[in-house]
């Protein structure tokens, strides 16, 4: 399928590994010029080098900590200076710590808000005006299955990612007439470093083995396996495409059937 993305530009955060790296790769394969962002410059350089060798496209590396307001603004400015304009925003950040509500402190909530919601708001405010002027744009927020079916011991993610969903749905109505779509991707259990972290947390809190943790989660997935990052990334590329111009305000689950609700 021709996605019509050749020559478009994208900012992808959390692109140094896992799903973010896969998203950058999938967009580059469609001819998109990229600004990739994460904390670790060395890993971003690795990702950029691989993408350039495979697709001969422009990739700009922007190290930043998007839990810091100043870094968000500086990263957005750097991306627009490098690319000229940003057509596609993929707001993707790592998840907050695994814990129950009774174990949280105010600092945990503040950190989760800054990482998940404030970063999404800041990036959107930076890139949206040019999208409106150009009458074309794609905004994609990476959230989680937890916004539709809360996951045990992930109260921070369950709560703050749901706020991102509210942002997405509200914004989608405001900008639909400007040729801009706004959607969320609800990632399910995916084979990334985050799964490794959660499995080790389950070992400590539930007294089970690493393998038992993985088996427990896999048994809940009708597809019988966890997702590969590329399977999530290809859905992102579709939502960014011309083919998805009439899809907006949606939360699209890539979860192998894990969510049990009808809507």
User: Which residue is it, tokens 């259990």?
Assistant: 189
The gap from C-alpha 34 to its chain's centroid, in whole angstroms, comes to: 15
Report the C-alpha gap between 254 and 263 in whole angstroms: 14
Strand ranges in 98-197 using DSSP code E only, listed in sequence order: 137-144, 180-187
CB-hemisphere CA count at 13 Å for 103?
A: 9
Domain of residue 36, residue span: 9-191+227-254
**pLDDT over 70 at 203, yes or no:** yes
- Identify the CATH number of the domain in which residue 172 sits: 3.40.50.720
**pLDDT over 70 at 107, yes or no:** yes
**pLDDT over 90 at 94, yes or no:** no
pTM score, two decimals?
Answer: 0.95
Q: Do residues 11 and 76 touch, judged by C-beta distance below 8 A?
A: yes
pLDDT in tens, 29-85: 999 999 999 999 999 999 999 999 999 899 999 999 999 999 999 999 999 999 999
**pLDDT over 70 at 211, yes or no:** yes
**pLDDT over 80 at 157, yes or no:** yes
Residues 6+ apart with CB under 8 A from 8: 31, 32, 33, 87, 88, 240
Confirm whether 215 is domain-assigned: no
Confirm whether 184 is domain-assigned: yes
Confirm whether 221 is domain-assigned: no
- Give the model's pLDDT for residue 177: 98
**pLDDT over 80 at 2, yes or no:** no
Q: Give the helix, strand, coil percentages of the chain, each rounded to 5.
A: 55, 15, 30
Confirm whether 263 is domain-assigned: no
Structurally, how many domains does the chain consist of?
A: 1
């Amino acid at each position: 399928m021709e996605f019509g993305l050749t020559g478009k530009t994208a900012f992808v955060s959390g692109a140094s590994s896992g799903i973010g790296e896969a998203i950058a790769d999938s967009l580059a394969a469609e001819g998109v010029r990229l600004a990739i962002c994460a904390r670790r410059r060395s890993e971003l350089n690795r990702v950029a080098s691989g993408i350039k060798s495979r697709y001969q496209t422009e990739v700009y590396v922007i190290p930043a900590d998007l839990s810091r307001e100043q870094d968000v603004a500086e990263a957005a400015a750097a991306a627009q200076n490098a690319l000229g304009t940003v057509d596609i925003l993929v707001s993707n950040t790592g998840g907050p710590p695994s814990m129950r509500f009774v174990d949280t402190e105010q600092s945990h909530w503040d950190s989760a808000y800054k990482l998940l919601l404030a970063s999404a708001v800041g990036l959107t405010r930076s890139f949206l005006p040019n999208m409106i002027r150009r009458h074309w744009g794609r905004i994609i927020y990476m959230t989680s299955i937890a916004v539709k079916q809360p996951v045990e011991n992930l109260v921070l993610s369950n709560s703050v990612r749901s706020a991102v969903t509210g942002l997405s749905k509200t914004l989608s109505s405001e900008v639909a007439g400007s040729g801009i779509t706004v959607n969320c991707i609800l990632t399910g259990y995916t084979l990334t470093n985050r799964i490794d972290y959660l499995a080790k947390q389950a070992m400590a809190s539930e007294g089970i083995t690493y393998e038992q943790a993985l088996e427990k989660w896999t048994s809940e997935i009708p597809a019988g396996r966890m997702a590969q990052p590329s399977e999530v990334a290809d859905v992102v590329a579709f939502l960014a495409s011309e083919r998805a111009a009439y899809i907006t305000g949606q939360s699209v689950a890539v979860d192998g059937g894990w969510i049990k609700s009808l809507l």
